């Protein structure tokens, strides 16, 4: 699995990076990437397009796509001249500063797979565009190719079984990288992002830093919401709820007087909180349970994903962006490409569903 860290740099415009009349690859930025990408100029340095939530979502999704292509470039032996990945960060004035490599030994063959990357603003940009992160740590998801499928499926099964990725070497590698760029650039100047399995890693390394009081902006695309442990816990909660209803119908003997203190250890956000951004598709059965109305405690919707965060005093666990396009095939609903579509219309909610609360409750629960 490959991840990367990126920084902002002054690069060519989108149309300037095409070299020669050669046949374009279907994963080329100019074939399947976003349209109408604005070129960065001096005006943009003052009034940045990064303030636009749609633009930010598009750019970060492109960085994650670059991580997938970094690994594919390696597997298909592409050189710097014909590599696909750089075309996905250059138009936004970022550069690759670090590649996270998962080193696995299999039958005496060392396999170095790219699981993520770090990009930062280019050194040629005289000042950081308003709202642009100085560095972005991006994680890719499962890549069903022979050099990567085994390791990726192992982590998929780990997450499915335990709802945790802490046992993976990729988790420790990602956490180390995120802490490093946080120390270098400041936690308020960076963000972590991922798609599918990569969103699971981004969520868990971001949460690990949040436990230490370091809050990093997070963007999670199609994050996994299905696991055996959460299903078992959900059944336990339903059984407990049924039992409480039965007990409430029985004559009271005074044992329960004094009130229920369960709420005292619920999410308490205090003066600062970690609020990740989740992007889910209604037709994607891997991530759709994040918006399960059965557990929704506090939801406030807006018409587009470009709206400001509503102000309220209730605990908010995440900003949930929901894309609903009617019935879609799974591969389309779970794909990354949808998140930079020009016609994308999102609904944003402050969501404190049971699933989101369970993911983040350890951050805000009082110690026993």
| Span 227-248, pLDDT tens digits | 544 544 555 555 566 656 666 6
CA angle 167, 119, 102 (to 5 degrees): 30
Distance CA 160, CA 228 (A): 6
Angle between helices 197-210 and 169-185 (to 10 degrees): 60
In Å, how far from its chain's centre is CA 315?
Answer: 21
CA angle 342, 345, 351 (to 5 degrees): 135
Distance CA 198, CA 102 (A): 13
Distance CA 70, CA 115 (A): 9
Please state the rounded mean pLDDT for residues 157-163: 88
In the prediction, which pLDDT does 220 show?
97
As to burial, measured by CB atoms within 10 angstroms (0-12 exposed, 13-18 middle, 19+ buried), residue 241 is exposed
Q: Please, which pLDDT band fits residue 170 given cuts at 50, 70 and 90?
A: very high
Query: Residue 331, Cβ neighbours under 10 Å: how many?
Result: 8
pLDDT of 113 over the 80 cut = no
Share of the chain above pLDDT 70, in %: 64
Radius of gyration over every alpha carbon of the chain, rounded to an integer in angstroms: 22
Q: Please, which pLDDT band fits residue 49 given cuts at 50, 70 and 90?
A: confident
In the prediction, which pLDDT does 249 show?
66
As to burial, measured by CB atoms within 10 angstroms (0-12 exposed, 13-18 middle, 19+ buried), residue 305 is buried
In Å, how far from its chain's centre is CA 90?
Answer: 21
**Token pair in block for residue 4:** 């990367």
In the prediction, which pLDDT does 35 show?
87
CB 2 within 8 A of CB 140: yes
As to burial, measured by CB atoms within 10 angstroms (0-12 exposed, 13-18 middle, 19+ buried), residue 6 is buried
Task: Say which range, 160-164, 281-285, 310-314, has the weakest mean pLDDT.
Answer: 310-314
pLDDT of 106 over the 50 cut = no
Please state the rounded mean pLDDT for residues 92-96: 90
Q: What is the overall mean pLDDT for the chain? A: 77
Higher-confidence residue of 98 and 343: namely 98
In the prediction, which pLDDT does 273 show?
82
Half-sphere exposure of 171 (CA within 13 A, CB side): 20
Per-position b or e across 281-291, b if 16+ CB within 10 A of its CB = bbbbebbbbbb
Distance CA 111, CA 105 (A): 6
Higher-confidence residue of 123 and 216: namely 216
pTM of the model: 0.79
**Token pair in block for residue 254:** 């005074």
3-state secondary structure 20-59: CCCCCCCCCHHHHCCCCCCCCCHHHHHCCHHHCHHHHHHH
Which range among 98-107, 120-129, 278-287 has the greatest average pLDDT? 278-287
Distance CA 342, CA 323 (A): 13
In the prediction, which pLDDT does 315 show?
52
Distance CA 187, CA 249 (A): 51
């Amino acid at each position: 699995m490959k991840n990367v860290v990126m920084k902002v740099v002054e690069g060519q415009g989108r149309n300037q990076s095409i070299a020669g009349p050669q046949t374009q690859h279907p994963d080329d930025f100019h074939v399947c990437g976003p349209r109408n990408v604005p070129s960065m100029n001096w005006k943009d340095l003052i009034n940045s397009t990064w303030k636009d939530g749609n633009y930010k979502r598009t750019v970060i999704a492109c960085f994650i796509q670059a991580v997938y292509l970094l690994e594919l470039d390696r597997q298909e032996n592409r050189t710097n001249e014909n590599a696909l990945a750089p075309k996905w960060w250059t138009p936004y004035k970022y550069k690759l500063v670090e590649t996270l490599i998962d080193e696995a030994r299999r039958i005496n063959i060392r396999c170095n797979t790219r699981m993520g990357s770090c990009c930062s603003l280019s050194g040629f940009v005289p000042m950081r565009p308003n709202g642009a992160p100085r560095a972005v740590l991006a994680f890719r998801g499962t890549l069903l190719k022979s050099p990567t499928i085994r390791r990726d499926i192992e982590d998929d099964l780990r997450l499915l079984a335990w709802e945790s990725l802490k046992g993976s070497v990729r988790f420790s590698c990602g956490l180390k990288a995120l802490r490093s760029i946080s120390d270098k650039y400041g936690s308020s100047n960076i963000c972590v992002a991922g798609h599918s399995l990569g969103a699971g890693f981004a969520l868990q390394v971001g949460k690990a830093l949040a436990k230490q009081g370091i809050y990093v902006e997070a963007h999670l695309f199609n994050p996994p919401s299905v696991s055996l442990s959460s299903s078992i816990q959900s059944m336990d909660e339903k059984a407990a709820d049924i039992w409480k209803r039965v007990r409430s119908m029985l004559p009271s003997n005074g044992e329960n007087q004094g009130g229920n203190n369960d709420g005292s250890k619920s999410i308490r956000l205090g003066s600062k909180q970690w609020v990740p951004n989740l992007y889910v598709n209604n037709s994607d059965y891997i991530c759709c349970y994040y918006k399960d109305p059965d557990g929704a405690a506090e939801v406030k919707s807006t018409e587009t994903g470009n709206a400001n965060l509503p102000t309220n005093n209730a605990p908010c666990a995440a900003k949930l962006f929901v894309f609903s396009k009617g019935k879609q095939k799974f591969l389309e609903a779970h794909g990354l490409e949808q998140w930079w579509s020009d016609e994308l219309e999102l609904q944003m909610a402050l969501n404190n569903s049971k699933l989101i609360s369970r993911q983040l409750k350890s951050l805000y629960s009082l110690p026993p």
